[in-house]
Structure 1
């Protein structure tokens, strides 16, 4: 059964791929870091490169963000839950999660288990949803990132199928019996009753988010 959190499902998928890899070996995942009963954090994955013998620390993230034109950088790319911000997530990944093994205390804890991390890897997937007017992207963003568009439900003029949350990372894999296209006016009314955006696949096959008028303020 799939876990409720999409991020955890993503970790499970990566772990499954590694189990079938000839080059990489999954050494450990969700490694707790504890000292004198205090939790210092957790490492997503430790992965061995069989070709070099190098042990790598992998941090994973699966995220979706919508660009707000003209907004301040700190709040320009909110997630469906606007408390989740792209800039904040980038800083957390680079400045906190990826640097944990640089801490001598953490390195000593890992050494007690025979682990010495030689490289750090950030594996991020997801999609950034743009508007026609565009929003400046943080410099760390991959130019070839997966993209979509988003709009407010009141401007929705095409029929579409709602993508369930557990398929946000692979919306095109939905079987036909789970893809019910509904009229634009029905979608508008449905989205307006919610508190967060909804992922939609249009009849032309494009992936978009439709947001209620109250988003992201409420």
Structure 2
């Protein structure tokens, strides 16, 4: 029996908050294969999150160890924790490369046993952040902070390549060698945010559900001190889930992060916070990417 997912904001431990966010986060694509963990979660699973939040050392190791700055690695480890420790599923394979004639044709992120539906599933996962860039010809593009990444390319890769990997004869052979036989159901998990330009109205792609998480982005030259008063820079892996802290935002930390946008010519993510009188925390209310004035690089633009 499923239960209503609690707000991630009630959790003080960052990794527990990340897990709670992943349980119910809206996805960045429409598809019948999209996986929603909260659909399978019980009241006991959410109670376990509350217990871990009170005593992280009593839970899986990832909850109390120093978080890995590699966002994808941290996300993948949390996903395994979600499947095994919260849902009680069995991971049969993970990060399994599939090769054909001495070259890799793909990788299975997770192959799991879903005891609820009594089936074997192949899960492809990603967490993504895309900034909407208006095009002169009306063909808006959604670029990642690294503009070589694009939402349309990632969506096509997930839906039409990775999701069909289990139908390849090489994959079937690998699964058979591991004792995994019979049909394998593909599921896709891709939560994240779309960031909208602050000065131009653009529409989200038709491939993205209306309930997606939203932020905004602006050029470095558009940032004025009065709007950054309650900002804090977000460092990976704390892009996952909403941010909260006990101390008030520090202006010098924001300025240092803004300086890196100019020096490194790379976007930086910030959270805007609001003070909660009830418990004294500063809680995230919105997210903002600040990008160098040259972003995206001309070579990245696709018309």
Unaligned runs of 5+ in 2: 1-65, 275-284, 299-303
2:195 aligned residue: 129
SS in 2 for 1:20: helix
Is residue 21 from structure 1 mapped to residue 86 from structure 2 by the alignment?
Answer: yes
The residue correspondences of 1:28-177 to structure 2 (distance < 5 A) are: 28-35=93-100, 37-70=102-135, 76-115=141-180, 116-132=182-198, 133-157=200-224, 158-159=227-228, 160-173=231-244, 175-176=245-246
Residues 103-140 of structure 1 show CA distances to partners (whole Å, capped at 9, x for unaligned) of 23322321222223431111011111012423333322
Quick one: distance in 2 between partners of 1:199 and 1:161? 9
TM-score (norm 2): 0.63
Quick one: distance in 1 between partners of 2:272 and 2:243? 11
In 2 relative to 1, CA 17–6 (structure 1 residues): closer, same or farther, beyond 3 Å? same
Q: Relative to total residues, which structure has the larger helix share, 1 or 2?
A: 2
State whether residues 69 and 236 of structure 2, in contact with CA within 8 Å, keep that contact through their aligned partners in structure 1: no
Quick one: distance in 1 between partners of 2:111 and 2:137? 36
TM-score (norm 1): 0.86
Residues 150-209 of structure 1 show CA distances to partners (whole Å, capped at 9, x for unaligned) of 111211121222111321123514x34595334987765553333121111224532111
CA RMSD of aligned residues (A): 2.7
Quick one: distance in 1 between partners of 2:271 and 2:149? 23
Per the TM alignment, residue 145 of structure 1 is displaced from its structure 2 partner at its CA by 1.2
User: Which piece of structure 1 moves more, 197-206 or 57-66?
Assistant: 197-206
SS in 1 for 2:91: strand
Per the TM alignment, residue 80 of structure 1 is displaced from its structure 2 partner at its CA by 0.7
Quick one: distance in 2 between partners of 1:96 and 1:73? 28
State whether residues 67 and 74 of structure 2, in contact with CA within 8 Å, keep that contact through their aligned partners in structure 1: yes
Figure out how many residues of one structure are paired with residues of the other and give that number.
217
With a CA cutoff of 8 Å and minimum separation of 6, indicate the structure with the bigger relative contact order: 2
Q: Relative to total residues, which structure has the larger strand share, 1 or 2?
A: 1
Quick one: distance in 1 between partners of 2:236 and 2:70? 10
